[in-house]
Amino acid sequence: MSVKIVISNRLLKISGGFAKTIGYIFHFIFPKRRFVLPKFSKAIIKSKKSSIIPKVVWQTNFTDKVTLPVYINYLIIRLMSLDHDYHYVSTEDREEFIKKYAPKEFVEAFLRLNDGAAQADFWRVFVLNTKGGVYLDIDAHPVWPLSKIIKKDDKELILKNKQHYTNYFMASAPSNPILEKTLELMVDNINNDRIEKGVYFLTGPEVLNHAIGNKKPNSRFYRVTCVQGSFTNEYFQYMDRPRSKWTYKDNRTLLKPKKEDS
């Protein structure tokens, strides 16, 4: 494990704790103040090295108007991706993207999803398999520059935690067999109303792990790649929509009725 990356991780965590403290004070004084994530941000520097995985960062959220700590987290992402373009995709644009590029069966399955986190699960896999690039959750950030984490010949980079592969950070070239299998499993779960175990098993990391099975994808441990929650937390992410995180959802509401059942 690289000592430099571990040190960077720790410094970011300390900085994140300070940012959250400032965030509490700031939003106590200015409770309605929000910062806007750009829909598109061009790479700040031109990369001298080509790579199989496109140098594009993708993020999505229920709103582009975010609290100070979430915006600081975005700035850290840009600092770690200076040679990458950045795209923020809204809830509405996710749907339009799926309708534009996905086959009919995928579109119908996606439109049944009644939870933002489940939609984001589906969309992240689909956009990476269609366009390629790097996806990060809104509360996640790299701990080292992406161009040093992702090698030029990498076809994918899947994040591992202590238990299994996870999906809050994913990088891939288009047309990845693992992502294609993940999408097929998601569609099958949706079509068969497998909601009893919640989002995690319907569209989340469990589906990715099922798709990987015994395969050995290119992967990295999260502590030297990308972590969550250093700069933000549930309070700052959902300040305008308290208790709307997927963990609070009633599993029975995760899917809209099938067309023939409505």
**Domain-embedded: residue 262:** no
User: 230-241, pLDDT tens digit by residue?
Assistant: 999 999 999 999
For residue 250, tell me if it sits in a domain: no
Range of the domain at 27: 3-244
- Summarised one tens digit per residue, pLDDT across range 49-80 is 889 999 999 999 999 999 999 999 999 999 99
Domain contains 26: yes
- Going 228 to 9 to 213 to 126, the CA torsion angle's sign is positive
Q: Which pLDDT score is estimated for 79?
A: 98
At residue 202, the pLDDT reads 98
The pLDDT, as a whole number, for residue 207 is: 98
Structure tokens at 10: 């720790």
* 253 within a domain of the structure (yes/no): no
Q: How many domains does the chain have?
A: 1
Of 150, 155, 158, residue with least CA distance to 176: 155
Pairing of strands 56-60, 85-89: parallel
Residue 25 inside a domain? The answer is yes
| Residue 47, in any domain of the structure | yes
Q: What angle do CA 8, 226, 97 make, to 5 degrees?
A: 140
pLDDT of 262: 46
Cβ-based neighbour number of residue 261 at 10 Å? 7
Q: For residue 237, is it within any domain? A: yes
Q: Which of 149, 166, 158, 118 is nearest to 225 (CA)?
A: 149
Task: Classify burial at 63, counting beta carbons within 10 Å of its beta carbon; exposed 0-12, middle 13-18, buried 19 or more.
Answer: middle
Contacts of 69 (CB under 8 A, 6+ apart): 19, 20, 22, 23, 231, 232, 233, 236
Give the whole-angstrom CA distance, residue 5 versus residue 251: 39
List the CATH number of the domain containing 74.
3.90.550
**Residue stretches of the chain with pLDDT short of 50:** 262
Quote the pLDDT of residue 249. Answer: 86
* Residues 172 and 70 sit within 8 Å (Cβ to Cβ): no
Q: Is-contact 219 160, C-beta < 8 A?
A: yes
Residue 66 is assigned to a structural domain of this protein = yes
